[in-house]
């Protein structure tokens, strides 16, 4: 039988990445991500569309929860095989999966239901990780050869080349924007019979890095130069925080911002930064303090001026950032700098949208701090970068599937692929099954 490819997630949406490959002699998954956002996502997370015990192994593109977050549940429900991932991805998962499990346990307690998985189940699942190195071919099963290539999206992220007896499938995973610090540019791929390409920003281009850094320097200077207030930066712990530290060091080195104390106040961000330092080079992080304990975190509340406070969560929904917003948001001499996407319904989005006051910990606080939004720092390739990466193929794939994008973004990239590259391309629906 011809190999079958089943789209189980990230089809017409950006979360829940999961593809099932069935060669006839073996079934395996590429990614096992959590669906995020609302009731519908919660429902989809509860039920696998296959029997976990039938899955021989998992190939994992990167550590983000929307690609890895259901691995503990998969293992708890009968999957007993290995999970192949890069070393850096494995180290990040060791922090992220137990953290995700902890959130599941807390939520289940609130909602009086059973958690999606427990911290103990997350730890069990970590023991099934096997290391895959960039560029080194391996055979997870007879008749399946596999090579991971650097996707340049976050630390450890991979494009997966899959060589089967009836053809070659390439999974782009999440592709990074070229020219970014800490990570390499996405590796070029030259051939595939079937290609799955992400499309998060398939219909948009990012601002240039030069312009983005100008905006960031302006936002920091505006507050730091007055020496009267603090700058608060809500930031995703993994990836974005390290990138922000890099840019602060770089702007400082260029003499474009004054010296300032930088606090990284998120245990997850601190752990992710330590892992990053093991795998990549960061410039000298002068005057950066990583706070671990709650006491240390609370002491930052006494700092009235001259500090840059980076904390999670990135959309201000949970974590220590809310304490820093509570202290600094009501003060006109302070600034809040948003460096990531703020989804509808989040506290971050309400502030960005111009709320005059917001509720934090059941109290109302006026929004008087200056607000800045830096939009150019996405970890995903934009439309131009996606097309440039696709342009490196030496011949058109027999079929290209555009995945991991909202419907408009996916459709737009598909149209570009058909019109500009003259390839055969489509946007699959969740649940679609195609033969190779």
Q: Applying CB under 5 A, which residues contact Zn ion?
A: 64, 174
Would you say 174 or 215 has its CB closer to Zn ion?
174
Are the beta carbons of 416 and 425 closer than 8 angstroms? Answer: no
To Zn ion, the closest distance from the beta carbon of 408 in angstroms equals 20
Classify residue 427 by its DSSP letter: -
Alpha-carbon span 243 to 433, nearest angstrom: 38
To Zn ion, the closest distance from the beta carbon of 276 in angstroms equals 15
Would you say 174 or 382 has its CB closer to Zn ion?
174
Tokens of 282: 């960061």
| Residue with the two structure tokens 């408009």 | 408
Tokens of 17: 């990445």
Would you say 64 or 206 has its CB closer to Zn ion?
64
Would you say 64 or 414 has its CB closer to Zn ion?
64
To Zn ion, the closest distance from the beta carbon of 186 in angstroms equals 13
Would you say 234 or 239 has its CB closer to Zn ion?
239
Alpha-carbon span 144 to 50, nearest angstrom: 20
To Zn ion, the closest distance from the beta carbon of 395 in angstroms equals 28
Closest to 17 measured CA to CA, from 45, 50, 38, 47: 45
Alpha-carbon span 135 to 169, nearest angstrom: 16
Would you say 27 or 153 has its CB closer to Zn ion?
153
Helices marked H in 112-189? 119-126
To Zn ion, the closest distance from the beta carbon of 257 in angstroms equals 29
Classify residue 54 by its DSSP letter: G
To Zn ion, the closest distance from the beta carbon of 62 in angstroms equals 6
To Zn ion, the closest distance from the beta carbon of 320 in angstroms equals 23
Would you say 31 or 416 has its CB closer to Zn ion?
31
Would you say 174 or 243 has its CB closer to Zn ion?
174
Return the H-helix or E-strand segment holding 271.
helix 267-279
To Zn ion, the closest distance from the beta carbon of 97 in angstroms equals 15
Which residues make Cβ contacts (< 8 Å) with residue 38, sequence separation at least 6? none
To Zn ion, the closest distance from the beta carbon of 265 in angstroms equals 24
- DSSP string across 327-385: HHTT-TT-EEEE-S---TTSHHHHHHTT-SEEEETTEEEE--SEEEE-----SS-BHHH
Alpha-carbon span 37 to 406, nearest angstrom: 13
Q: What percent of the residues of the chain are helix, what percent strand, and what percent coil, each to the nearest 5?
A: 35, 20, 45
Would you say 44 or 64 has its CB closer to Zn ion?
64
Are the beta carbons of 309 and 263 closer than 8 angstroms? Answer: yes
């Amino acid at each position: 039988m011809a190999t079958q490819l089943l789209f189980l997630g990230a089809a017409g949406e950006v979360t829940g990445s999961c593809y099932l490959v069935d060669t006839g002699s073996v079934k395996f998954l590429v990614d096992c991500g959590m669906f995020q956002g609302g009731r519908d996502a919660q429902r989809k997370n509860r039920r696998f569309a296959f029997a976990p015990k039938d899955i021989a192994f998992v190939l994992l593109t990167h550590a983000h929860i929307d690609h890895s977050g259901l691995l503990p549940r998969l293992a708890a429900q009968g999957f007993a095989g290995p999970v192949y991932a890069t070393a850096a991805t494995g180290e990040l998962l060791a922090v992220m999966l137990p953290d995700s499990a902890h959130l599941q346990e807390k939520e289940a307690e609130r909602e009086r239901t059973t958690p999606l998985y427990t911290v103990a189940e997350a730890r069990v699942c970590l023991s099934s990780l096997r290391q895959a190195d960039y560029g080194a071919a391996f055979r997870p099963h007879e008749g399946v050869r596999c090579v991971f290539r650097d996707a340049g999206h976050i630390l450890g992220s991979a494009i997966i080349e899959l060589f089967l007896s009836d053809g070659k499938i390439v999974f782009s995973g999440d592709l990074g924007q070229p020219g970014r610090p800490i990570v390499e540019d996405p590796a070029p791929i030259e051939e595939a019979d079937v290609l799955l390409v992400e499309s998060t920003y398939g219909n948009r281009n990012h601002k240039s890095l030069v312009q983005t850094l100008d905006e960031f320097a302006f936002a920091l200077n505006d507050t730091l130069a007055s020496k009267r207030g603090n700058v608060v930066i809500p930031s995703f712990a993994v990836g974005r925080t390290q990138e922000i530290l890099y840019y602060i060091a770089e702007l400082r080195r260029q003499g474009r911002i004054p010296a300032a104390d930088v606090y990284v106040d998120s245990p997850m961000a601190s752990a992710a930064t330590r892992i990053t330092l093991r795998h990549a080079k960061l410039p000298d992080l002068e005057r950066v303090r990583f706070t671990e304990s709650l006491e240390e975190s609370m002491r930052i509340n006494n700092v009235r001026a001259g500090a840059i406070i980076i904390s999670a969560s990135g959309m201000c929904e949970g974590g220590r950032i809310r304490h820093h917003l509570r202290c600094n948001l009501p003060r006109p001499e302070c600034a809040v700098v948003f460096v990531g996407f703020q989804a509808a319904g989040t506290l971050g989005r309400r502030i960005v949208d111009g709320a005059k006051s917001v509720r934090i910990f059941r109290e109302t606080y006026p929004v008087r701090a200056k607000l800045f939004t830096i939009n150019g720092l996405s970890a995903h390739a934009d439309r131009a970068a996606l097309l440039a990466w696709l342009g490196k193929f030496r011949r058109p794939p027999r079929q290209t599937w555009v995945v991991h994008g909202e419907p408009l973004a996916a459709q737009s990239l598909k149209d570009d692929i058909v019109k500009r590259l003259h390839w055969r391309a489509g946007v699959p629906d969740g649940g679609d099954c195609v033969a190779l």
